[in-house]
Structure 1
Amino acid sequence: MTADGVRWGILATGGIAAAFTADLVDLPDARVVAVASRSEESAEAFAERFGIERAYGDWRSLAEDADVDVVYVATPHAAHRAAAGLCLTSGRNVLCEKPFTLNVREAGELVALAREHGRFLMEAMWMYCNPLVRRLKDLVDDGAIGEVRTVQADFGLAGPFPPAHRLRDPAQGGGALLDLGVYPVSFAQLLLGEPSDVTARAVLSPEGVDLQTAAVLSWDSGALASLHCSIVGGTAVTASVTGSAGRIDIPNGFFHPDRFVLHRDGKDPEEFAADPADGPRTSLRHEAKEVMRALRAGETESPLVPLDGTLAVMRTLDAIRGRVGVRYPSEAGDPTGEAVALV
């Protein structure tokens, strides 16, 4: 890192990479110095769009660029293991888009690489860095609604998505669960930790990915989470947390809310709204700021998005896939069985 700020490299040039880079360039202590794509033409067009100094037509050149402090991996998630692994072994710190990998085996490999090389690694679970979500968690942890009894959350897109779309492609880790269901699962585990048991049902596509999935997670405390995701129906994208002494409702966009309502037993409802100073509710700046804070502090992982928590979410996603019978081509012949592990 230099006195001018943290130097970022962007690996991939799709929509989420563009959204993240647009937020980065607005941060005074961030510098986007390089971008890479498998296509030199795509990398150069992206670099011109955002005023980036260097454009690479391959991943390795970015991974080996010693002037890059941290790489944001924004490839489709089936490539996260390869892309992030290359960066970590080349000495780069990494922020890797969600879902972290296809399965917990791959996730564990990345965590081991980061720890072996002493590099920072974090899943880009922006929900965990959102100030209003952090406020909600603090209220729950402080007992504002008593002991948590139930969590409900949904995330569905209307589609329809054609068979050739990445959301329908098993080779790209398609299906509702990894792309959308990771949010309800991560929300439940933010509040309750890793569940002790998982049950699930799904409707599968002819290609073998989940079109919609419903899961019930349970904890030894007696808490339950009822979660749903879909790529065949647009849902309300709401969440609710019910405790022994009250309830918190997020009426829309629970993973990047503009407000939530606290209902305490015997008291008037209280509304908590996002601070306009924090930027648009769709802003990815908070996860970028957390990465830069951690790098300056010499930390190799974030306390807001800890690696053990990421691994726990991946175990739950694997368990759900195991229950509903979704297995990706890259997992064929996996002797460990971890890709479809059952908790």
Structure 2
Amino acid sequence: MEGTSLRVGLLGAAGIAPAAMINPARRRNDVELVAVASRRRAPEFAERHGIPTAYSRYEDLLADDSIELVYIALAPSEHARWTIAALEAGKDVLCEKPMAMNASEAKAVLAAAERTGQRAIEAFHDYYHPLQAWIRDFLESRTLGSPISVKATFNGANPFDPASIRHVPELGGGALMDLGCYPVHWVRTLFGEPRVTHTTAGLNRLGADVWIEALVEFDGGMHDGGVPDGAVHDDAVHGVVSASMEPDVRLESSLTVVCERGTLRVENLVFPARGHSIRVERDGVTHISTVAGLDTYDHQLAAVIEGLRSRKTLATEGLDYVRNMEAIDAIYAMAGIR
């Protein structure tokens, strides 16, 4: 890829695609949007966004030899299937979260990536913003001492619609899959793999979780950096991970970490470029700050391009998406939902 443009195809004419891929690509001079595939909307979507080629079949886009990276934004129930198909077609993949419906599917994606030598990257765009690097560095500095507890929340109103993917469990709907996968990823990145001790949830009439809360425990200490593959052991850290898409809930994506000598609270981890805050309370004094950065999707695309060029593993690929799905599976199992 050195000195050339990355040629990208969009699998699915999704509403998230302009923010997540089209606009970030247009803000760069080393990315070319080649084609979009959609079973119903491809021509209209391609014309509206200035994409030169429209395919009505996903298979045709995967057969396009000019495409190097496929961005997948389908229903979660389709993520693993089409990620594997793209890998086997010789494409690298950036797939919207969650990577799969469960850990078994995620393992199949990883096996396909290893078998083909292609890259499958999960689109946790928020991870690549400087805000999350700041959080990791701050907690690792032990400025507030060792962590004692963590609370991670992502709430966003989404009134019930039986035709919406987000409300149909068979398609990957539910608060945990749509929203809660983010706070699961935050706490795993910071503290390693959780043990789920209790889960409560409320379901819609289709069986999807409208809200969910899980109590978790970690062996202790801070994660040792890089891909979440373990934790540094100190005293155990207790946590609460929650998500809600109830109609009257306030939009919130927050992280609170209580430590020995104070508390860290961060507001708006998912979209920090739209406004966020960092509150550090110690010895009765509160410090409020922010971290400079671009839109999260710009940082994500930059990381993907650099990762493909350098061949270095990114934090949201490989075992990371398997273990995130294992944690989600465990939360659902404890709730008796799956």
Would you call these one fold, judging by a TM-score over 0.5? yes
- Shift, 1:24, TM fit: 1.6
One-letter amino acid matched to 2:329: D
d(CA) in 1 for partners of 2:276 and 2:63? 42
d(CA) in 2 for partners of 1:196 and 1:320? 9
Task: Indicate if the aligned counterparts of 2:154 and 2:242 stay in contact, CA closer than 8 A.
Answer: yes
One-letter amino acid matched to 1:28: N
Q: 1:241 aligns with which of 238, 243, 257?
A: 257
1:318 aligns with 2:334: no
1:71 aligns with 2:84: no
Structure 2 residue aligned with 1:12: 12
Structure 2 residue aligned with 1:260: 277
Q: 2:238 aligns with which of 203, 207, 224?
A: 224
d(CA) in 2 for partners of 1:269 and 1:169? 43
- Shift, 1:72, TM fit: 0.7
TM-score after normalising by structure 1: 0.87
d(CA) in 1 for partners of 2:156 and 2:81? 28
| Residues 121-149 of structure 1, C-alpha deviations (whole Å, 9 max, x = no match) | 11001111111111111111222322221
| Residues 167-219 of structure 1, C-alpha deviations (whole Å, 9 max, x = no match) | 22122111111001111111111111111344211112221111111101101
d(CA) in 1 for partners of 2:138 and 2:294? 22
Task: Indicate if the aligned counterparts of 2:120 and 2:317 stay in contact, CA closer than 8 A.
Answer: no
Structure 2 residue aligned with 1:134: 133
Percentage identity across paired residues of the two chains: 30
**Structure 2 unaligned blocks of 5 or more:** 221-235
- Shift, 1:262, TM fit: 4.5
Q: Against the structure 1 CA distance between its residues 308 and 56, is the aligned structure 2 distance closer, same or farther, given a 3 Å change threshold?
A: same
- Shift, 1:242, TM fit: 1.6
Structure 1 residue aligned with 2:43: 44
Paired residues, number: 318
**Structure 1 unaligned blocks of 5 or more:** 328-343
One-letter amino acid matched to 1:66: D
Q: 1:279 aligns with which of 273, 286, 294?
A: 294
- Shift, 1:105, TM fit: 0.3
d(CA) in 2 for partners of 1:306 and 1:158? 29
One-letter amino acid matched to 2:208: V
- Shift, 1:18, TM fit: 2.2
SS in 2 for 1:52: coil
Task: Indicate if the aligned counterparts of 2:261 and 2:283 stay in contact, CA closer than 8 A.
Answer: no
d(CA) in 2 for partners of 1:270 and 1:68? 48
Over the aligned positions, Cα root-mean-square deviation in angstroms equals: 1.8
Task: Indicate if the aligned counterparts of 2:196 and 2:214 stay in contact, CA closer than 8 A.
Answer: no
Task: Indicate if the aligned counterparts of 1:76 and 1:172 stay in contact, CA closer than 8 A.
Answer: yes
- Shift, 1:158, TM fit: 2.6
